[in-house]
Copies of this chain bind each other. A is one copy, B any other.
């Protein structure tokens, strides 16, 4: 019997990941290449094309590719365009879906990378069987995806789920986006680095983190220090968790989810981050929600980002009757 797979493409600021994924979420084959975000889109596309062709030509003859899912920053699912991506020098509007569709003669779905991650968790990961949940990707920025009654919330303009830009403090940290006090300036890898530097200034405790410059300091270094009991690192995770947990309580008051699913570099700290989040969220929850909302780590997209776009491709294949 012929086996079917979809192609997942995750376009990141530094790396692009592509892979062939079964309906059960098994990755048959995959590859990674540099996005080279400073070069224009046609350059990227030529590289993508040749990598995809290589991957597909290696498939056994009885395996058929049904559709393609693409996760990218600033992607608009309604237009199939990537619009003004701050980390890609592609220009204002790039018709990514159309270009890929023409090249491979397969249905293409495009979604914001963090939204695709939500679908990945729903089909293959920690949100399997859930109808109402929110994923938070705590990487360089804070991405999010909201699922309501089993469907991804896309919104009127294709831009729903930008929880990185809810406001923590109107007079707070300046954000890439031009606003002040956005959640991602606190609750992300970049955010916790800023918090560490604030704490290094305010506290007197010894810390391994005193030996890092701002440029050198990575999320991994902060996590490692926290795991060894470094007081500044622990305090940084605690403050991050308190802020994130309190804003998650606001999100609950919007969509009343069953769970939050956390992924991304910052989430690798596990309970060091989860514990203050849970305590803070629970304290701020409206009574109707108290004790009812779980906070867990991602399983699928935490392991491989292509499972997000692959889930998108599977849902689209189902939607148009290919499965």
- Using CB atoms and an 8 Å cutoff, list the residues of chain A in contact with chain B: 131-132, 146, 148-149, 151, 153-163, 165-167, 170, 177-179, 182, 246, 249-251, 253-258, 284, 286-289, 292
Contacts and interface: CB of A to CB of B under 8 A. Distances in A.
Contacts of A151: 149
Nearest to A152: B149
Count the copies.
Answer: 2
Given A178-B287, A287-B177, A154 B256 contact: yes
- A131, A151, A153, A257: most-surrounded residue (chain B CB, <10 A): A153
B287 A160 contact: no
Contact of A165 (B131, B165, B253, B258): B253
Given A254-B146, A256-B155, A246 B167 contact: yes
- Dominant secondary structure of chain A at its interface with chain B: loop
A256 B288 CA distance: 24
A156 B253 contact: no
A177 B132 CA distance: 24
A156 B258 contact: yes
A11 to B, nearest CB: 18
Contacts of A155: 132, 148, 255-257
A136 to B, nearest CB: 12
Contact of A254 (B158, B255, B289): B255
A283 B85 CA distance: 21
Contacts of A258: 156
3 A-B pairs with least C-beta separation: A155-B256, A160-B256, A132-B156
A179 B286 contact: yes
A254 B160 contact: yes
A153 B157 contact: no
Contacts of A148: 148, 153, 155, 160
Contacts of A153: 148-149, 254-256
